Amino acid sequence: MEYRKLGNSDLNVSAVTFGAWAAGGWMWGGTERSEAVEAIRAGFDYGVTSIDTAPAYGQGTSEEIVGEAIKGMPRDKIQILTKYGLSWEGTKGEFFFNSKNNQGKPIDIYRYSGKESIIKECETSLRLLGTDYIDLYQIHWADPTTPVQETMEAVAQLIKEGKVRYAGVCNYDVSLMKEAAKYINLVSDQVSYSMVKRDIEQDLVPYLIENNKSVLAYSPLQRGLLSGKIKPGHLFAEGDTRIDQPYYSDQNITLINAFLQKIKPLADDKKATLSQLVIRWTIEQPGITIALVGARNAAQSVENAKAAQLKLSSDEINFMNAELDKLKLDL
C-alpha cells in the first residue's frame, strides 16, 4: 500500500481508502452486515488502514459496522474518517431530500450543522465506532442556514477536547473553503471525482494544491460504472439511487464500456482488472491524495487494495486521457 500525508497534517492515510457508504446499505439496495465487516478487515490486511464513513449511511448502520470491524485492531494503525451535518431527526436546517431508511420507512434528510447538533453527532459517532477519537471529522454537505463560523468553531472545540484530530469538509467549493479556513485549519475536501466526472479540475483542485490541502475522491469508479461490470439494461435493486442518474442510461453505459474496452489491454498487460486500473489512474491525478472505494465483500476489498501496487507511466496516463477526451456522454 502507498501512504500519503493528509494536507498539512501529520496524518498518513492509505491511498486506497475503504468507502463505507455501501456498507451501510442506505441508497445501495441493502447490505449484508457480516460481509461488510469482513470486507473492512480484509482491506486492512492488505494495507487499507483508512476507513471513511458517515452517520447518514444507513442512519448509523455504517458507523456501527466499522466499529465492529475494527474491534481488536490496533487503533493507532487505523484512520477513521467520518462526517456530520446530515439529519433525519427533526426539521432544523435546510431540507435536502426525501429518502427511505434500511427498513423502507420514509425519512426526510436535512442539512444542519448547528453547534449543539455537531457536539451530539460526535458523541453518537464515537459510541457507534467504539473509539474515543475521530481522525478526520468532515461536514457532509454545507448548511446554508448556519453560519460557517459557528460550525467550524464547534469542530475546533472538539479538536481542543481531543475527540477529533483534524477537520475536513465534503462537497465544498472554493468560496466555502476560503470562508471556513478563516476559523479552522482544514486539511481536506472530499468531493466526487472520476474519469467521467472531472469538473473539480477547473478551480477546486488548483486552489487545494496551492493551499496544501488534500482531495479525497469519492465515487472514483462512478459507483460501479467504471468497473465494466454494468451492462445496458442492468436492473438495480429497489432503493438504489443509481436508477435515476443519467450516467446509468443505456446510452452512457454503452459509451463508457466502449471506452473501457480501449484501455482494457493496458489492464491485461499489467494483470490487473479494469477497476484497479481506474483506481490507480485516479490517485495519479494532480491533487488527488486518496480514492475512496467501497466493497461489498472481502474479495472486492482485496481487489481494490491491490490497485495501489500498479505502476503507470506518463505515456500510459496520457493514452488514457486521450481516450477520455474522445468520450462524449449525454448528461
How far apart CA 157 and CA 325 sit, in angstroms, is 46
Per residue in 192-213, pLDDT (tens digit) is 999 999 999 999 999 999 999 9
- What distance in Å separates the CA atoms of residue 264 and residue 99, rounded to the nearest whole number? 37
- In the annotation, is 57 catalytic? yes
- 0.85 cut: is pTM over it? yes
Superfamily name with CATH number, domain 3-226+274-311: NADP-dependent oxidoreductase domain (3.20.20.100)
pLDDT digits (tens, 9 = 90+) for 35-45: 899 999 999 99
DSSP H helices in the chain: 33-45, 61-70, 115-129, 148-160, 174-180, 204-210, 250-269, 274-284, 298-305, 314-326
Please give the Cα distance from 170 to 172 (Å, whole number). 6
Rounded to the nearest angstrom, the gap between the alpha carbon of residue 11 and the centroid of all alpha carbons in its chain is 17
Q: What is the pLDDT of residues 87-146, one digit of tens each?
A: 999 999 999 988 888 778 889 999 999 999 999 999 999 999 999 999 999 999 999 999
Render pLDDT for 238-291 as a digit per residue (tens, 0 to 9): 767 787 888 988 999 999 999 999 999 999 999 999 999 999 999 999 999 999
Decide: 311 and 37 in contact? Cβ < 8 Å.
no
Tell me the torsion sign for CA atoms 265, 266, 269, 270. Answer: negative
Contact 189, 211 (CB under 8 A): no
> What is the domain partition of the chain in residue ranges?
3-226+274-311
- Please report, rounded to a whole number, the percentage of residues in the chain having pLDDT higher than 90: 80
Count CB-CB contacts under 10 A for residue 25: 22
pLDDT at 11: 97
What does the chain come to in residues?
Answer: 331
* Three-state DSSP class for residue 134: strand
Average pLDDT, the chain: 93
Of 325, 298, 317, nearest in space to 23 by CA: 298
Q: Which long-range contacts (CB under 8 A, 24 or more apart) does 236-239 make?
A: 236/29, 237/28, 237/29, 237/30, 238/29, 239/27, 239/28, 239/29, 239/30, 239/100, 239/104
For residue 27, pLDDT beyond 60: no
Residue 123 contacts by C-beta under 8 Å, 6 or more apart in sequence? none
Catalytic pick from 3, 46, 57, 248?
57
